Amino acid sequence: MTAPADITSRTPADSAVTLAHIMSEHDTNLYGTVHGGVVMKLIDDAAAAAAGRHAGVPAVTVSVEEMTFLAPVRAGDLLTVRAQVDHAGRTSMDVTVAVTAERWNLTGPVTRAATAHLVFVAVDADGQPHRVPALHPATPADRRRQARARRHRRTTETRS
Ligand SMILES: CC(C)(COP(=O)(O)OP(=O)(O)OC[C@H]1O[C@@H](n2cnc3c(N)ncnc32)[C@H](O)[C@@H]1OP(=O)(O)O)[C@@H](O)C(=O)NCCC(=O)NCCS
């Protein structure tokens, strides 16, 4: 279980992913707002891409630590999903995702629609955990986010 030879560390920006998607009526529930599950799928996709970029190998979702819906999303909204790795362990990565929505005419304010925190594990061709490069925070905000993810890890490890 070794990290890719040419990659020993990465910053959060190196692996950050932004995914944009226009919601359609097919995504809505009976109330006319977008299904939470549709938003969760986009979150998982963006987070998996960020984790895979950091790891240099595919990464699978192992845990959804936090998933908060802050405002309804509607058909026609432009959803922007931003994911970045905030903490890297030996084979696992904490990924934070922020989701914003813009109304269809794109003239209104950008609304924070959801936030999420997921844990991914890098896997080899046999689906076994694979070592990931270290994460090197490059900015004060990166350091704060890494510290928060570490604190969260310690809290959940104490609980289990
Ligand atoms: C991910 C998987 C390969 C991990 O296998 P495992 O035998 O649990 O691996 P380990 O116990 O060695 O743990 C590997 C890492 O995952 C972390 N981990 C395992 N379970 C975790 C959990 N519930 N929450 C957070 N981290 C977890 C461990 O802390 C460890 O981190 P580290 O290497 O950075 O220290 C395995 O659980 C799996 O295949 N799960 C299914 C993944 C999947 O299909 N996801 C899609 C769901 S639709």
Q: What are the pLDDT digits (tens) for 66-79?
A: 999 999 999 999 99
pLDDT in tens, 22-67: 999 999 999 889 999 999 999 999 999 999 999 999 999 999 999 9
93 C-alpha to ligand 1 centroid (Å): 10
Judge if the beta carbon of residue 134 lies within 6 A of ligand 1.
no
pLDDT in tens, 82-117: 999 999 999 999 999 999 999 877 677 899 999 999
| CB contact at 8 A, 69 and 114 | yes
Confidence of residue 5 (pLDDT cuts 50, 70, 90): very low
Judge if the beta carbon of residue 80 lies within 6 A of ligand 1.
no
Q: Where are the domains positioned within the chain?
A: 9-159
**Does residue 157 or residue 160 have the better pLDDT?**
157
Q: What three-state secondary structure class fits 97?
A: strand
Q: Which residues contact 130 (CB under 8 A, 6 or more apart)?
A: 1, 55, 57, 91, 122, 123, 124
Reported CATH class of domain 9-159: alpha beta
What is the C-alpha to C-alpha distance for residues 146 and 150, in angstroms, rounded to an integer? 6
Confidence of residue 160 (pLDDT cuts 50, 70, 90): low
Q: Which atom of ligand 1 is nearest to the CA of 60?
A: 45
133 C-alpha to ligand 1 centroid (Å): 17
Closest CA relative to residue 102, chosen from 14, 25, 21, 159: 21
Confidence (pLDDT) at 59: 98
